Amino acid sequence: MAEQMKAQVRPMTEIRNGKTVISTPVSAEDIAALHVGDVFYLDGDLVTGRDSVHGRVVYEEQTLPVDIKDKVIMHAGPIVNIINGDDPSPGYEMISVGPTTSMRMERFEYEFIEKTGVRIIIGKGGMKEKTAAACKAFGAIHCVLPAGNAVVGASCVEEITAVHWLDLGAPEAVWCCRVKEFGPLIVTIDQTGRNYFEEKRAEYERRKEEQVEEISRQVHFMK
């Protein structure tokens, strides 16, 4: 019996066709080994939500209509096709799900992570101190889906299971999805608070100064 129960438990992290695949729900321990620059893919539950959703939760203190504790949110305004629109309960098909610039959510993110218990945040570009502090305090990570992969991302959505807060408009609504090998996702802020984009920014500034000095030496004779 114990062996049968063990066989039924699906690992949260597995290597599948050379890919690191993480399945929801996800604990802090499940993603503790992920560090900035690591690449993985996602199976399970993913919801979309950006400025309006974050504002309702943080500023208006509304409860998110879906439980995302130990799950995933993507900063995205997807393009969705309505199937059987005349039906009282229409279906939906994901056409494109490209990430929104995550910095737009920076002002909300610490409180949002604290309130919802979300474990993985997906977006575009870097985030700053509030998000890094929240990832360290609450055991979350921020990742990016590389630019140009909106249609690839949509192809990884097996089903849209529900939609909430459509009064915000379709792009701003909370779309609940079941995904399979969604990615590639690159970790940009890990649970230690390391911030890949900020580290690279500092490195760029240092190298820029070095190059300016070198060029200045080479052209010192010019007035």
For the stretch 10-65, pLDDT in tens is: 457 899 989 999 999 999 999 999 999 999 999 999 999 999 999 999 999 999 99
Q: Which residue has the higher pLDDT, 86 or 190?
A: 190
Between CA 98 and CA 23 the distance in angstroms is 21
Q: Which 3 state secondary structure label does DSSP give 135?
A: helix
**Would you place residue 216 in the very low, low, confident or very high pLDDT band (cuts 50, 70, 90)?**
low
- pLDDT value of position 204: 75
Between CA 123 and CA 48 the distance in angstroms is 10
58-85 pLDDT per residue, tens: 999 999 999 999 999 999 999 999 887 6
Q: Among 96-105, 133-142, 213-222, name the one with the lowest average pLDDT.
A: 213-222
Instruction: Pick the catalytic residue from 54, 75, 142, 164.
Output: 54
54 is catalytic: yes
- pLDDT value of position 210: 67
- pLDDT value of position 4: 47
Tell me which architecture the domain covering 18-195 has in CATH.
Answer: Alpha-Beta Barrel (3.20)
Q: Give the mean pLDDT of 118-132.
A: 96
For 222, the token pair is 């010019």
The whole-model pTM stands at 0.85
- Write down the residue that tokens 């604290």 correspond to: 114
184-211 pLDDT per residue, tens: 999 999 999 999 988 887 777 677 676 6
Output b/e per residue, 116-142; b: 16+ Cβ within 10 A. bebbbbbbbebbbebbbebbeebbbbb
Q: Give the mean pLDDT of 158-172.
A: 95
Helix ranges, the chain (H): 2-8, 51-58, 106-116, 129-138, 150-155, 196-218
Residues paired with 48 in a beta bridge: 74
